[in-house]
Amino acid sequence: MQIADISFPDHPLFLAPMEDVTDPAFRLMCKRFGADMVYTEFISADALVRNVKRTEQKLTIYEEERPVVMQIYGREPDAVAEAARIAEQANPDIIDLNFGCPVKKVAGKGAGAGLLRDIPKMLEITRAVVRAVKKPVTVKTRLGWDEDSKIIVTLAEQLQDCGIRALAIHGRTRCQMYKGEADWTLIGEVKNNPRMHIPIIGNGDVTTPERARECFDRYGVDAVMVGRAAIGHPWIFQEMKHFLATGERMPAYRFAWQIDLLKEHVLRSMEWLGDERKGIVHSRRHLAATPVFKGIPHFRETRIAMLRAEKLDELFAIIDDVKLRYSQLMQEGGLS
């Protein structure tokens, strides 16, 4: 599979863009474990044009994470095109347009998935950005606004005609947000449309190696995007790669190894943000979502303490105590 002049191996796996998640610290970890391409957090075009410091920080990328996609969103063609020119100066490999974010503060203001209610403007923005930059431009969107307006098959052709080089589709409508099951049937229909000649990337509920394989085999997509399943679990890419290559699950990493990787991520977040407390707070989403602690009995109070910790010594003492408890339970036969 190829996007512009960027080549990918068979069955490529991409890290989905996620706000407050896909910062450089996390992207580099996912890259280490086999993510073939990573996306930045989504970047507000208006904030970028206004030189907002927090937004400008999102432009930071590292050579080790390439190929990396910089994703921007906005609701006015001129502003998004100008933001794309600014983003291009950071030298990403691809610039992506977010037409899929469903949250109210974005979609409710006519950006992100809100543009699924104004297709002419969506296409105008896309054309403006394609004209504005030399980097390949891609789009990420959803099936439609609601159950009665699943327009993705037609929309995919219209976006392709604007000059985008690949299209990522989340298998839900905006009104579904992240509820219910992702519907991949229309993603497959887009991919199998003989008029489509750009790569189609499928997204939504890819949480296991088996599901990743099914999405490639059943729907024919060119790449699969992994989102929430990677939070607190960056080695999921390696697990999926192994299964795609062998048809078998790879042996699970030792509990102690997983714990140490979570601690490493906390340290990377602190380094990235330049502040102990901010790094710890930023890591809480990963600590809360990780499957590492699943199955440990009577863990609720420990989880609460872990997610309230604001000092590194305090947090690591709690995590190390969990490691010790786990080892004791294994020795006593309390865990399998």
247 within domain boundaries: no
Q: CA triplet 215, 72, 65: central angle to 5 degrees? A: 65
pLDDT of residue 298: 85
Alpha-carbon distances of 1 from 15, 69, 229, 249, rounded to whole Å? 16, 16, 24, 25
122 within domain boundaries: yes
pLDDT of residue 296: 87
Q: Which two tokens stand for residue 99?
A: 């037409």
Q: Domain check: are 304 and 189 in the same one?
A: no
Q: Domain check: are 43 and 114 in the same one?
A: yes
For residue 233, the SS3 value is coil
Longest dimension (CA), the chain: 65
Ramachandran angles phi, psi of 287, nearest 5°: -65, -35
Structurally, the chain folds into a number of domains equal to 2
275 within domain boundaries: yes
- Alpha-helical (H) ranges within 177-235 are 185-191, 209-219
248 within domain boundaries: no
Q: Domain check: are 227 and 268 in the same one?
A: no
215 counts as catalytic: no
Q: Which of 101, 162, 175, 215 is catalytic?
A: 101
Q: Domain check: are 187 and 267 in the same one?
A: no
Domain assignment of residue 183, given as a range: 2-233
241 within domain boundaries: no
pTM: 0.95
264 within domain boundaries: yes
Distance (Å, rounded) from C-alpha 22 to C-alpha 24? Answer: 7
Domain boundary among 233, 266, 299: 233
For residue 228, the SS3 value is helix
Mean pLDDT by 10 residues, the chain (336 residues): 96 96 97 98 93 88 97 97 97 98 93 96 98 98 94 98 98 92 96 98 98 98 98 98 97 94 96 95 95 89 94 96 84 62
Q: Domain check: are 189 and 327 in the same one?
A: no
Strand partners, 96: 71, 138
Q: Domain check: are 71 and 105 in the same one?
A: yes
- We report the CATH number of the domain holding residue 131 as 3.20.20.70
94 within domain boundaries: yes
242 within domain boundaries: no
pLDDT of residue 184: 97
Q: Domain check: are 199 and 292 in the same one?
A: no
Domain boundary among 203, 233, 263: 233
Q: Domain check: are 225 and 282 in the same one?
A: no
Single out the residue of 81, 97, 80 nearest to residue 39, CA to CA. Answer: 97
Domain boundary among 198, 233, 268: 233
Assess contact for 129 and 98: CB atoms under 8 A.
no
Q: Domain check: are 323 and 183 in the same one?
A: no
Q: Domain check: are 106 and 189 in the same one?
A: yes
Distance (Å, rounded) from C-alpha 34 to C-alpha 15? Answer: 10
Q: Domain check: are 178 and 271 in the same one?
A: no
Q: Domain check: are 128 and 171 in the same one?
A: yes
